[in-house]
Amino acid sequence: LRLLCMLFFTAIGFALALFGALTMPLLVVVPAAGLILGYLGPQMVVARRIKKRQKEILLALPSALDLLTISVEAGLSFDSALTRVVEKYNNAFSRELSIMLNEVRLGRPRLEALDDVGRRCKVEELSNFIQAIIQSEQLGVGVANVLRIQSEEIRRKRRQRAEEQGQKAPLKMLFPMVGCIFPTLFIVLLGPAVIEVAHQFGSGG
């Protein structure tokens, strides 16, 4: 896709340069800009989609863990609890769990399929949760206790992230205020005085 985009945008750059009768420097710069755009464009689009998907998984994780905890404490097995999450929710995390369950049904070891989910998604909270589940399975610790602890930990990190973003908000608001609001206030406050001074100078002249 990147190669096709490079060829496509470079061809557009050549067409614009030739039909626009550009001078020699621009005749080289415009196709080169198309080449760079074709090279970086797909990577930027994919990176944006990855961040969006990771955010969706991060937002879906607390609710899914609550349902997992309730289901396991009610007596369901861990696989059955995962199936309930897949049936109840329709988001990126539930789709990843669906892939994992299908792999287990086809014969792949459950811990290996679960570990692969964390490597695919690259979400820190999800990776920590999966590693905790894997360790509990290996050490024979109750899954319900691990789920409850992980659910509380994820909510705590989510609250800390929200507080951190709230502390950054005044700094982010400073630049729009300086660039947009303050000039308007200066115009409203100083505008009449400037007009009055201009009238005085006009009448004096």
Q: What is the pLDDT along the chain (205 residues), one digit of tens a residue?
A: 888 888 887 787 777 777 765 566 766 777 788 888 888 888 888 999 999 999 999 888 888 888 888 888 888 888 888 899 999 998 999 999 999 999 999 998 888 998 899 888 888 888 888 888 888 888 877 788 888 888 888 888 878 877 777 777 777 776 676 667 767 776 777 767 777 777 776 655 5
Q: Cα–chain-centroid distance for residue 153?
A: 21
* Integer Cα distance of 179 and 200 in angstroms: 31
Contact 137, 114 (CB under 8 A): no
Q: Residue 193 corresponds to which amino acid?
A: A
| Nearest CA-CA partner of 113 in 125, 122, 101 | 101
Q: What is the pLDDT of residue 27?
A: 67
Calculate the alpha carbon distances from 187 to 176, 198, 200 in Å.
16, 15, 19
Q: Cα–chain-centroid distance for residue 116?
A: 20
Q: What is the pLDDT of residue 49?
A: 92
Calculate the alpha carbon distances from 32 to 35, 57, 128 in Å.
5, 38, 44
Q: What is the pLDDT of residue 40?
A: 85
Q: What is the pLDDT of residue 182?
A: 66
* Integer Cα distance of 142 and 161 in angstroms: 29
Q: What is the pLDDT of residue 102?
A: 92
